Structures are given as structure tokens and as C-alpha cells.
């Protein structure tokens, strides 16, 4: 991906100044994210807002990128559309969301111009709502649920795209921070499940309004890793979905 961008530069120097990508180029796809390792960020029990919920991530079956399951409720009636991002720093003990600093942005892109969702590799790595949609038309007890694979964040420690030591922040449209929470490691159980996706592409989940909570603790994924690796990513996802939902 990066090499391609450089090639385009040398062939057509005018195209070298690509405003929307990072100073360090487009985000690389992350690899080898462990499928059965799960991190979860739970929004704080913060006074002054009813916004609650969580963002759970795990490795995808082929290890490319990570699966997100977003589940929020309690949005205010005003002030949307709402956005959410992975922020660079964790929330400190005082619960002050401002101290998480800026969006996770290892390629030094900045927030402006806004992310073009059709080119997610050019967006800030942590700009989840930029890549997968802002939250609109959800308020009160309605729930916003969405599942997708993001190819540019990681749960493999040691690289800038690692999210496991960072936080999720939800914002009003005017960028004021509503609530936040830190990712914590939930499981590395080698026989345990990864995360489910709601559809084969794992990318077009739609909000579910006012639906009751699903029971937590999905069933175990029984597949044999060596057999699983022989299937296509889509096939594996279909199997995972079949087993887990």
C-alpha cells in the first residue's frame, strides 16, 4: 500500500501532494491480530450523561485488521450527529475525557480534511465514525449497534496502530466529549471465541433500535485453527457467524 503510493509519486510528481493522507503515507493493513484475543472499552458511569455502552475488538479470522462490535445507548436528544474515535491516551483515574488527547493518528494525518470513508487507509487510524459512520437518529434508550472489520487498527502490541492501551471517546457534533472508556484485555483464551459479525461482510451493520440485550458470553468457537486457515476470509466469517449468532 505504502510502496504503491510512493510509486505513484515517482511517476507523477504532481500527485505527490495528496492532501488527505498522512505525513507518513496511507495506513498499512495490520496483520496477525490474534483471533481469540478480546479487548473491551466500557464507557464510564459518568455523571451528567446517560451515554453508556462498549466497544469490543478482537482479531479477525485471517488476522488482517480487527473486528469491532460497537454497542452504545443513552444518546442525548440534541447535539448529534455523534462521532467516536480511538484516542491516543487512556482515560486517567479522574475520568476526564479531555486527557485522552487527540485521535489515534500514527501516520500523522490530522483531522482536516474529514475522512473519506471510501478510502479508509487515508483516514486517521482512530477515526472510527469517519470510516464507518457517524451516529444519528438514535436517542434515549435506543441502542446503536454496529459490527465491522477495520483493517488499520491492531491488537498486536508494539505497533502504533495498537488500541489495547488506549481509549474510546464519544463526541457531540461540535467535538465536545460526552463519555469515554479504556480498552482492557478481556480474554486471550486460545480455545475461546472471537467476536461475531452480523453479516458476511462484517461491515454494514445497522443500528438496532430499542432491542433487548443479547445474552453475553457467546458460544465457544470449536474450529480447528489449521483447518480454518484453509478457508477464505468470507467463508470463515460465515462460519463464525453461524456458530456465534
Ligand X SMILES: *[C@@H]1O[C@H](CO)[C@@H](O)[C@H](O)[C@H]1NC(C)=O
Q: Which residue from 176, 161, 145, 174 is spatially nearest to 66, judged by alpha carbons? A: 161
- Judge whether 69 and 41 are in contact, CB under 8 Å: no
Q: How far is the CB of 48 from ligand X (least distance, A)?
A: 10
β-bridge pairing 177-187 and 66-73 = unpaired
- Per-residue CA distances from 25 to 91, 109, 121 (Å): 28, 8, 9
Q: How far is the CB of 108 from ligand X (least distance, A)?
A: 14
Dmax over CA atoms of the chain, in Å, equals 56
Nearer to ligand X, 165 or 187 (CB): 165
Q: How far is the CB of 175 from ligand X (least distance, A)?
A: 8
Q: Which residue from 75, 66, 47, 45 is spatially nearest to 170, judged by alpha carbons? A: 75
Residue number closest to ligand X, CB atom = 79
Q: Which residues here bind ligand X, judged by CB under 6 A?
A: 78-79, 89-90, 96, 98-99, 157-160, 162, 165, 172, 174, 176
Whole-angstrom Cα distance, residue 102 to residue 98? 9
Q: How far is the CB of 6 from ligand X (least distance, A)?
A: 24
Nearer to ligand X, 54 or 165 (CB): 165
Q: How far is the CB of 232 from ligand X (least distance, A)?
A: 30
Q: How far is the CB of 194 from ligand X (least distance, A)?
A: 21
Nearer to ligand X, 97 or 128 (CB): 97
Nearer to ligand X, 92 or 110 (CB): 92
- Judge whether 130 and 123 are in contact, CB under 8 Å: yes
Nearer to ligand X, 68 or 183 (CB): 183
Nearer to ligand X, 63 or 160 (CB): 160
Q: Which residue from 138, 102, 132 is spatially nearest to 120, judged by alpha carbons? A: 132
Amino acid at each position: 500500500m505504502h510502496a504503491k503510493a510512493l510509486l505513484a509519486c515517482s511517476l507523477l510528481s504532481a500527485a505527490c501532494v495528496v492532501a488527505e493522507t498522512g505525513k507518513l503515507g496511507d495506513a498499512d493493513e495490520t496483520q496477525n491480530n490474534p483471533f481469540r484475543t478480546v479487548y473491551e472499552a466500557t464507557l464510564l458511569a459518568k455523571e451528567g450523561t446517560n451515554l453508556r455502552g462498549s466497544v469490543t475488538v478482537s482479531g479477525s479470522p485471517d488476522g488482517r485488521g480487527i473486528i469491532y462490535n460497537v454497542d452504545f445507548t443513552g444518546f442525548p436528544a440534541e447535539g448529534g450527529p455523534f462521532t467516536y474515535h480511538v484516542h491516543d491516551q487512556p482515560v486517567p483515574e479522574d475520568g476526564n475525557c479531555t486527557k485522552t488527547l487527540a485521535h489515534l493518528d500514527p501516520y500523522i494525518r490530522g483531522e482536516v480534511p474529514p475522512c473519506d470513508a471510501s478510502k479508509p487507509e487515508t483516514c486517521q487510524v482512530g477515526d472510527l465514525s469517519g470510516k464507518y459512520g457517524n451516529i444519528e437518529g438514535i436517542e434515549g434508550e435506543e441502542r446503536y449497534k454496529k459490527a465491522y472489520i477495520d483493517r488499520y487498527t491492531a491488537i498486536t502490541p508494539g505497533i502504533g496502530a495498537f488500541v489495547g492501551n488506549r481509549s474510546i471517546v464519544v463526541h457531540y457534533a461540535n467535538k465536545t466529549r460526552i463519555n469515554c472508556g479504556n480498552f482492557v484485555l478481556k480474554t486471550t483464551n486460545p480455545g475461546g471465541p472471537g467476536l461475531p459479525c452480523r453479516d458476511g461482510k462484517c461491515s454494514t451493520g445497522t443500528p438496532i433500535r430499542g432491542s433487548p440485550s443479547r445474552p453475553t458470553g457467546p458460544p465457544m468457537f470449536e474450529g480447528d485453527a489449521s483447518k480454518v486457515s484453509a478457508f477464505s476470509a468470507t467463508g470463515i466469517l460465515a462460519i463464525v457467524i453461524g456458530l456465534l449468532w
